[in-house]
Amino acid sequence: MDQIIDLFPTPLLRAPATLGAPLVAGLIRHFAGQAICDNNSSRSLSHTEMLKPGDSPLFVQAAQAITPKLVDFGAQLFGERIGWSIKEMWVNVLDPGGHQAMHNHANSFISGVVYLTPTHAGSQTVFMKSPGGTDFLFRNDHLGVQPTPYSADKWISPAPAPGDLILFPSYLMHAVPPNQGQRRISLSFNAIPSRLDSWGYVIGFSG
């Protein structure tokens, strides 16, 4: 029987209800009003300062719930269960009509989002194939095409509920389409491993 093999796939971890409702409500109540930093991709998108987990007891609680998931996901990326820490966290507030332009995250290995409010179906996080380097020079792209995981340019994440977490490699390009619903609030973060060992060439990281 013919078989399609997933060759070097890109992992993404989805963990429903990682943060409980009381913590989600506390994060919204405490940080939504602090999201005053402008984002140059949209006037209707703002965020808090980049903060350390220790800057808030709420962030400490969130980090405690998220870190075991980082260890699980890190084992998929690097083939070993090693220590992980969150180096920075911030809260995003996306008002109706706002969007987040395509981007990735530098100086980290795992990035993540915890959704704090319901998300409109048209404003779910979109992940995109890296622009260039691995594609054919001529594409088959027209109205009759039925995209597959191997030919699609983008993948729309499943509809999240408040408290749901996603983790992805920091290099992965992603964006948020124009918000067609109510105010959308999320907690984003970047994480680093305690160390990486390449046949004795060891690099340690600290947040």
DSSP string, 47-64: E---B-GGG-HHHHHHHH
Q: What are residue 117's phi and psi, to 5 degrees?
A: -130, 165
Superfamily in which the 13-131+149-196 domain is placed by CATH: q2cbj1_9rhob like domain (2.60.120.620)
Q: pLDDT value at position 135?
A: 62
Distances (CA, A) of 69 to 10, 49, 107, 166, 190: 17, 24, 20, 10, 13
Beta bridge mates, 92: 47, 186
Instruction: Give 183's contacts (C-beta < 8 A, 6+ positions apart).
Output: 93, 94, 95, 96, 117
The answer, yes or no, to whether residue 131 has pLDDT greater than 80, is no
Q: What are residue 64's phi and psi, to 5 degrees?
A: -65, -35
Q: Name the percent of the chain lying above pLDDT 90.
A: 86
Distances (CA, A) of 17 to 31, 42, 149, 204, 207: 20, 29, 26, 31, 26
Q: pLDDT value at position 207?
A: 67
Q: What is the pLDDT of residues 168-198, one digit of tens each?
A: 999 999 999 999 999 999 999 999 999 999 9
Q: Nearest to residue 204, comparing CAs of 193, 126, 131, 179?
A: 193
Q: pLDDT value at position 188?
A: 98
Sign of the Cα torsion 20, 22, 25, 27 reads: negative
Confidence of residue 137 (pLDDT cuts 50, 70, 90): low
Q: What is the pLDDT of residues 15-55, one digit of tens each?
A: 999 999 999 999 999 999 999 998 777 889 999 999 999 99
